[in-house]
Amino acid sequence: MSESAVTVLRLAADGPPVRDERDATDVLGDAFGTGASWVVVPVERLEDDFFRLSTRVAGGIVQKFATYRVGLAVVGDISRHTADSGALRDFVRESNQGGQLWFLADEAAFDARLGIRP
Please work out, in degrees rounded to the nearest 5, the angle formed at the alpha carbon of residue 12 by the alpha carbons of 113 and 79. Answer: 60
The tens-digit pLDDT sequence of the chain (118 residues) is 444 578 999 999 999 999 999 999 999 999 999 999 999 999 999 999 999 999 999 999 999 999 999 999 999 999 999 999 999 999 999 999 999 999 999 999 999 999 887 6
pTM score of the predicted model: 0.92
**pLDDT for the residue 1:** 40
The pLDDT, as a whole number, for residue 118 is: 67
Read off the amino acid at residue 33. Answer: G
Q: Can you say whether residue 104 is alpha, beta or left, with left for phi > 0 and alpha for psi between -120 and 50 degrees? A: beta
